[in-house]
Structure 1
Amino acid sequence: MSHKKYNLGKSIEEEFFSLIAIHASIEDFQLAYFINKNCNTRFKRKHNLFSSHLKKEINALVWENSWDEETFWYLFSNKYESSKTMTTNNPGLLFENENQMDLYIIPELKQVDYFIKIPNNNNNNNFYTKKNKRTS
Protein backbone atom coordinates (compact mmCIF):
# COMPACT_ATOMS: atom_id res chain seq x y z
CA MET A 1 0.00 0.00 0.00
CA SER A 2 1.49 3.31 -1.02
CA HIS A 3 1.28 6.40 1.11
CA LYS A 4 1.29 9.96 -0.11
CA LYS A 5 3.16 12.56 1.85
CA TYR A 6 1.97 16.14 1.83
CA ASN A 7 4.36 18.78 3.02
CA LEU A 8 3.11 22.01 4.54
CA GLY A 9 5.93 24.44 3.92
CA LYS A 10 7.03 27.42 5.90
CA SER A 11 4.65 30.24 6.60
CA ILE A 12 5.32 33.61 5.06
CA GLU A 13 4.34 36.34 7.49
CA GLU A 14 3.30 39.73 6.19
CA GLU A 15 1.75 42.64 8.03
CA PHE A 16 -1.81 41.97 6.86
CA PHE A 17 -1.82 38.28 6.02
CA SER A 18 0.09 35.00 6.26
CA LEU A 19 0.75 32.53 3.48
CA ILE A 20 1.16 28.83 4.08
CA ALA A 21 3.02 27.10 1.25
CA ILE A 22 1.79 23.62 0.33
CA HIS A 23 3.64 21.11 -1.82
CA ALA A 24 1.13 18.56 -3.17
CA SER A 25 0.64 17.05 -6.61
CA ILE A 26 -3.14 16.69 -6.35
CA GLU A 27 -6.07 18.76 -7.59
CA ASP A 28 -7.29 21.71 -5.54
CA PHE A 29 -10.60 20.09 -4.61
CA GLN A 30 -8.76 16.99 -3.31
CA LEU A 31 -6.45 19.15 -1.23
CA ALA A 32 -9.41 21.13 0.11
CA TYR A 33 -11.13 17.88 1.10
CA PHE A 34 -8.01 16.68 2.95
CA ILE A 35 -7.59 20.02 4.77
CA ASN A 36 -11.31 20.23 5.60
CA LYS A 37 -11.27 16.71 7.00
CA ASN A 38 -8.20 17.18 9.19
CA CYS A 39 -8.13 20.86 10.18
CA ASN A 40 -11.76 21.72 10.97
CA THR A 41 -12.10 24.07 7.99
CA ARG A 42 -14.76 24.28 5.29
CA PHE A 43 -13.08 25.41 2.08
CA LYS A 44 -15.51 25.60 -0.85
CA ARG A 45 -15.84 27.46 -4.12
CA LYS A 46 -17.48 30.77 -3.35
CA HIS A 47 -15.75 33.70 -5.02
CA ASN A 48 -12.43 34.32 -6.70
CA LEU A 49 -9.28 36.01 -5.49
CA PHE A 50 -7.73 38.98 -7.34
CA SER A 51 -4.04 38.62 -8.20
CA SER A 52 -2.28 41.96 -8.45
CA HIS A 53 0.67 40.24 -10.18
CA LEU A 54 -1.48 38.78 -12.98
CA LYS A 55 -3.97 41.66 -12.86
CA LYS A 56 -6.93 39.29 -13.00
CA GLU A 57 -9.09 37.10 -10.81
CA ILE A 58 -7.96 33.54 -10.16
CA ASN A 59 -9.94 30.50 -9.06
CA ALA A 60 -9.77 29.96 -5.33
CA LEU A 61 -11.44 27.91 -2.66
CA VAL A 62 -12.71 30.07 0.18
CA TRP A 63 -13.40 29.36 3.82
CA GLU A 64 -15.51 31.84 5.75
CA ASN A 65 -14.73 31.51 9.45
CA SER A 66 -17.73 30.74 11.59
CA TRP A 67 -16.50 32.76 14.58
CA ASP A 68 -16.65 36.17 12.92
CA GLU A 69 -18.16 35.60 9.42
CA GLU A 70 -15.98 38.38 8.03
CA THR A 71 -12.65 36.59 7.80
CA PHE A 72 -11.98 34.66 4.62
CA TRP A 73 -9.18 32.18 4.07
CA TYR A 74 -8.20 31.41 0.49
CA LEU A 75 -6.74 28.18 -0.87
CA PHE A 76 -5.35 28.74 -4.35
CA SER A 77 -2.94 27.22 -6.82
CA ASN A 78 0.34 28.99 -7.47
CA LYS A 79 0.39 27.80 -11.09
CA TYR A 80 -1.84 29.52 -13.60
CA GLU A 81 -2.10 28.46 -17.24
CA SER A 82 -2.53 31.20 -19.78
CA SER A 83 -2.96 30.80 -23.51
CA LYS A 84 -1.90 33.40 -26.03
CA THR A 85 -2.87 33.30 -29.67
CA MET A 86 0.01 34.21 -31.93
CA THR A 87 -0.89 35.50 -35.37
CA THR A 88 1.74 35.45 -38.04
CA ASN A 89 1.79 37.32 -41.29
CA ASN A 90 2.39 34.14 -43.27
CA PRO A 91 -0.54 33.78 -45.71
CA GLY A 92 0.23 30.08 -46.25
CA LEU A 93 -0.88 29.09 -42.73
CA LEU A 94 -4.47 28.01 -42.19
CA PHE A 95 -4.50 28.30 -38.42
CA GLU A 96 -3.19 30.65 -35.80
CA ASN A 97 -0.62 29.40 -33.31
CA GLU A 98 -1.80 29.14 -29.72
CA ASN A 99 0.87 28.90 -27.03
CA GLN A 100 0.27 27.72 -23.47
CA MET A 101 2.26 29.57 -20.86
CA ASP A 102 2.62 28.65 -17.21
CA LEU A 103 2.47 31.73 -15.02
CA TYR A 104 2.83 31.82 -11.25
CA ILE A 105 0.91 33.88 -8.75
CA ILE A 106 4.09 34.23 -6.69
CA PRO A 107 6.88 33.82 -9.26
CA GLU A 108 9.61 33.82 -6.60
CA LEU A 109 8.20 30.53 -5.24
CA LYS A 110 7.66 28.48 -8.40
CA GLN A 111 8.28 25.20 -6.54
CA VAL A 112 5.18 25.76 -4.35
CA ASP A 113 1.97 24.16 -5.64
CA TYR A 114 -0.67 25.81 -3.41
CA PHE A 115 -0.99 28.59 -0.88
CA ILE A 116 -3.41 29.28 1.93
CA LYS A 117 -3.81 33.02 2.47
CA ILE A 118 -4.90 33.82 6.03
CA PRO A 119 -5.56 37.32 7.35
CA ASN A 120 -3.51 38.18 10.42
CA ASN A 121 -5.68 38.09 13.49
CA ASN A 122 -5.69 36.21 16.77
CA ASN A 123 -8.34 33.66 15.76
CA ASN A 124 -6.05 31.40 13.73
CA ASN A 125 -4.38 29.47 16.56
CA ASN A 126 -6.62 26.39 16.19
CA PHE A 127 -5.54 25.80 12.59
CA TYR A 128 -1.84 26.25 13.34
CA THR A 129 -2.05 23.85 16.28
CA LYS A 130 -3.71 21.14 14.16
CA LYS A 131 -1.29 21.74 11.29
CA ASN A 132 1.72 21.33 13.56
CA LYS A 133 0.34 18.10 15.08
CA ARG A 134 -0.15 16.60 11.59
CA THR A 135 3.33 17.46 10.34
CA SER A 136 5.21 16.34 13.47
Structure 2
Amino acid sequence: MTVHKLILDDVFEEVECTLIGIHCTIEDYRLAYLLNKHLGISLSRKSLDLDFNERKCAFSIFDWEDTKQLETWSLVSNVFKTEVYQSGNQSSLFDTQQSIIKTTYLIPEQKAVNYFLKINNTFNLNKEKQILNNIIKIPLVATAFSIDINQLKSKDNLIFS
Protein backbone atom coordinates (compact mmCIF):
# COMPACT_ATOMS: atom_id res chain seq x y z
CA MET A 1 0.00 0.00 0.00
CA THR A 2 1.40 3.38 -0.93
CA VAL A 3 1.33 6.33 1.41
CA HIS A 4 0.24 9.71 0.05
CA LYS A 5 1.52 12.77 1.82
CA LEU A 6 -0.32 16.07 1.49
CA ILE A 7 1.55 19.30 2.06
CA LEU A 8 -0.77 22.12 3.06
CA ASP A 9 1.70 24.99 3.41
CA ASP A 10 0.05 27.11 0.72
CA VAL A 11 -3.50 26.49 1.95
CA PHE A 12 -3.13 28.14 5.36
CA GLU A 13 -1.47 31.39 4.42
CA GLU A 14 -1.50 34.25 6.87
CA VAL A 15 -4.12 36.82 6.00
CA GLU A 16 -2.48 40.19 5.60
CA CYS A 17 -4.45 42.93 7.24
CA THR A 18 -4.03 46.14 9.16
CA LEU A 19 -5.36 46.12 12.72
CA ILE A 20 -5.88 49.32 14.71
CA GLY A 21 -6.89 49.37 18.36
CA ILE A 22 -9.10 52.27 19.46
CA HIS A 23 -9.57 53.30 23.08
CA CYS A 24 -12.63 55.49 23.72
CA THR A 25 -15.78 55.49 25.83
CA ILE A 26 -18.38 56.35 23.18
CA GLU A 27 -21.04 54.03 21.81
CA ASP A 28 -20.29 51.87 18.77
CA TYR A 29 -22.75 53.58 16.41
CA ARG A 30 -21.34 57.01 17.28
CA LEU A 31 -17.75 55.86 16.70
CA ALA A 32 -18.77 54.36 13.34
CA TYR A 33 -20.34 57.69 12.36
CA LEU A 34 -17.23 59.65 13.40
CA LEU A 35 -14.92 57.24 11.55
CA ASN A 36 -17.08 57.58 8.44
CA LYS A 37 -16.86 61.34 8.71
CA HIS A 38 -13.11 61.61 9.37
CA LEU A 39 -11.84 58.77 7.16
CA GLY A 40 -14.23 59.11 4.23
CA ILE A 41 -15.59 55.58 4.55
CA SER A 42 -19.13 54.17 4.89
CA LEU A 43 -19.27 51.72 7.78
CA SER A 44 -22.73 50.27 8.38
CA ARG A 45 -24.02 47.93 11.07
CA LYS A 46 -24.30 44.26 10.14
CA SER A 47 -27.65 42.64 10.77
CA LEU A 48 -26.10 39.96 13.01
CA ASP A 49 -23.54 40.54 15.75
CA LEU A 50 -20.38 38.51 16.10
CA ASP A 51 -21.55 35.68 18.36
CA PHE A 52 -19.38 33.44 20.57
CA ASN A 53 -19.74 30.84 23.33
CA GLU A 54 -23.14 29.42 22.41
CA ARG A 55 -24.80 32.88 22.36
CA LYS A 56 -23.51 33.97 25.75
CA CYS A 57 -21.72 37.00 24.31
CA ALA A 58 -22.11 39.05 21.15
CA PHE A 59 -19.92 41.83 19.77
CA SER A 60 -21.27 44.57 17.54
CA ILE A 61 -19.73 44.75 14.09
CA PHE A 62 -19.81 47.38 11.34
CA ASP A 63 -18.33 46.85 7.90
CA TRP A 64 -17.74 48.52 4.55
CA GLU A 65 -16.45 47.07 1.29
CA ASP A 66 -14.34 49.43 -0.80
CA THR A 67 -14.85 48.09 -4.31
CA LYS A 68 -12.31 50.48 -5.84
CA GLN A 69 -9.41 49.43 -3.62
CA LEU A 70 -10.73 45.87 -3.01
CA GLU A 71 -10.60 46.34 0.75
CA THR A 72 -12.98 45.43 3.55
CA TRP A 73 -13.07 47.68 6.61
CA SER A 74 -14.56 46.26 9.80
CA LEU A 75 -15.16 47.95 13.14
CA VAL A 76 -15.78 45.43 15.91
CA SER A 77 -16.31 45.93 19.62
CA ASN A 78 -13.81 44.30 21.96
CA VAL A 79 -15.98 44.51 25.10
CA PHE A 80 -19.25 42.75 25.94
CA LYS A 81 -20.87 43.40 29.30
CA THR A 82 -23.72 41.41 30.73
CA GLU A 83 -25.51 41.51 34.06
CA VAL A 84 -25.47 38.26 36.03
CA TYR A 85 -27.62 37.72 39.10
CA GLN A 86 -26.14 35.84 42.01
CA SER A 87 -28.08 34.79 45.08
CA GLY A 88 -26.91 36.53 48.22
CA ASN A 89 -26.84 35.41 51.84
CA GLN A 90 -28.61 32.05 52.27
CA SER A 91 -29.21 32.49 56.01
CA SER A 92 -31.31 35.59 55.46
CA LEU A 93 -35.07 35.64 55.84
CA PHE A 94 -35.43 37.33 52.45
CA ASP A 95 -34.02 35.98 49.23
CA THR A 96 -31.63 38.65 48.01
CA GLN A 97 -29.91 38.68 44.66
CA GLN A 98 -26.84 40.67 43.77
CA SER A 99 -26.26 41.82 40.24
CA ILE A 100 -22.72 41.50 38.97
CA ILE A 101 -21.49 42.99 35.69
CA LYS A 102 -19.53 40.32 33.81
CA THR A 103 -17.12 41.62 31.14
CA THR A 104 -16.02 39.46 28.20
CA TYR A 105 -13.34 40.48 25.69
CA LEU A 106 -13.06 39.49 22.04
CA ILE A 107 -9.26 39.68 22.31
CA PRO A 108 -8.45 39.16 26.03
CA GLU A 109 -4.81 40.19 25.71
CA GLN A 110 -5.88 43.68 24.55
CA LYS A 111 -8.17 44.73 27.43
CA ALA A 112 -7.33 48.43 27.01
CA VAL A 113 -8.85 48.41 23.52
CA ASN A 114 -12.57 49.16 23.22
CA TYR A 115 -12.82 48.72 19.43
CA PHE A 116 -10.78 47.17 16.65
CA LEU A 117 -10.63 48.59 13.13
CA LYS A 118 -9.58 45.76 10.82
CA ILE A 119 -8.71 46.55 7.22
CA ASN A 120 -8.19 43.54 4.95
CA ASN A 121 -5.22 45.09 3.21
CA THR A 122 -1.72 45.99 4.28
CA PHE A 123 -0.77 49.61 3.79
CA ASN A 124 2.61 51.19 3.55
CA LEU A 125 3.75 52.89 6.74
CA ASN A 126 2.79 56.39 5.58
CA LYS A 127 -0.83 55.44 4.75
CA GLU A 128 -1.21 53.61 8.07
CA LYS A 129 0.15 56.64 9.98
CA GLN A 130 -2.27 58.89 8.09
CA ILE A 131 -5.22 56.68 9.10
CA LEU A 132 -4.02 56.64 12.74
CA ASN A 133 -3.60 60.43 12.79
CA ASN A 134 -7.11 60.92 11.41
CA ILE A 135 -8.53 58.63 14.10
CA ILE A 136 -6.61 60.38 16.89
CA LYS A 137 -7.96 63.75 15.67
CA ILE A 138 -11.50 62.61 16.57
CA PRO A 139 -12.23 64.55 19.80
CA LEU A 140 -13.85 61.66 21.72
CA VAL A 141 -11.11 59.10 20.95
CA ALA A 142 -8.53 58.81 23.73
CA THR A 143 -5.94 56.95 21.68
CA ALA A 144 -5.47 54.68 18.67
CA PHE A 145 -2.53 52.47 17.83
CA SER A 146 -1.44 49.82 15.39
CA ILE A 147 -1.45 46.17 16.51
CA ASP A 148 0.56 43.32 15.00
CA ILE A 149 -2.06 40.63 14.39
CA ASN A 150 0.57 37.87 14.28
CA GLN A 151 1.51 38.56 17.93
CA LEU A 152 -2.04 37.93 19.21
CA LYS A 153 -2.88 34.59 20.83
CA SER A 154 -6.59 34.83 20.04
CA LYS A 155 -6.30 36.18 16.50
CA ASP A 156 -8.77 33.55 15.29
CA ASN A 157 -11.55 35.65 16.87
CA LEU A 158 -10.82 38.31 14.24
CA ILE A 159 -11.87 36.02 11.39
CA PHE A 160 -15.44 37.07 10.79
CA SER A 161 -15.86 37.54 7.08
TM-score tier, shorter chain, comes to 0.5 to 0.7
CA change 1:21–1:51 in 2 (3 A) is farther
Paired residues for 1:34-45 under 5 Å = 34-45=34-45
- Judging changes above 3 Å, is the alpha-carbon distance between structure 1 residues 24 and 78 closer, same or farther for their aligned structure 2 residues? same
Are the structure 2 counterparts of residues 93 and 18 from structure 1 closer, same or farther at C-alpha, using a change threshold of 3 Å?
A: farther
> Gaps (5+ residues) in structure 2?
1-12, 138-161
Give the 3-state SS of the residue equivalent to 1:115 in structure 2: strand
1:66, distance to aligned residue in structure 2 (A): 3.9
Rg (Cα) greater in structure: 2
Contact 2:77 / 2:116 at 8 angstroms: preserved in 1?
yes
Indicate the SS of the match to 1:37: helix
Residues 81-128 of structure 1 deviation map (CA, whole Å, 9 limit, x = unaligned)? 122222357262334322112222211111112111233x46x67x74
Query: How many Å separate the matches in 2 of 1:77 and 1:118?
Result: 15
Higher RCO by CA contacts (8 Å cutoff, separation 6 or greater) = 2
Distance change (3 Å), C-alpha of 1:92 and 1:117: farther
Q: Which amino acid aligns with 2:117?
A: I
Aligned to 1:7: none
Partner of 1:77: 77
User: TM-score with structure 1 length normalisation?
Assistant: 0.63
Unpaired runs of 5+ residues, structure 1, are 1-13
- The one-letter code of the counterpart of 1:84 is V
Matched, 1:15 2:14: yes
Match of 1:100 in 2: 101
TM-score normalised to structure 2 length: 0.55
CA distance in 1, matches of 2:51, 2:14: 18
Aligned residues with identical type, % of pairs: 30
CA RMSD of aligned residues (A): 3.4
What residue in structure 2 maps to residue 111 of structure 1? Answer: 112
Deviation at 1:129, TM superposition (A): 6.8
How far 1:56 sits from its partner (Å)?
4.0
SS in 1 for 2:109: helix
Write the distance in 1 (CA, Å) between the matches of 2:129 and 2:19: 16
Is residue 49 from structure 1 mapped to residue 50 from structure 2 by the alignment?
yes
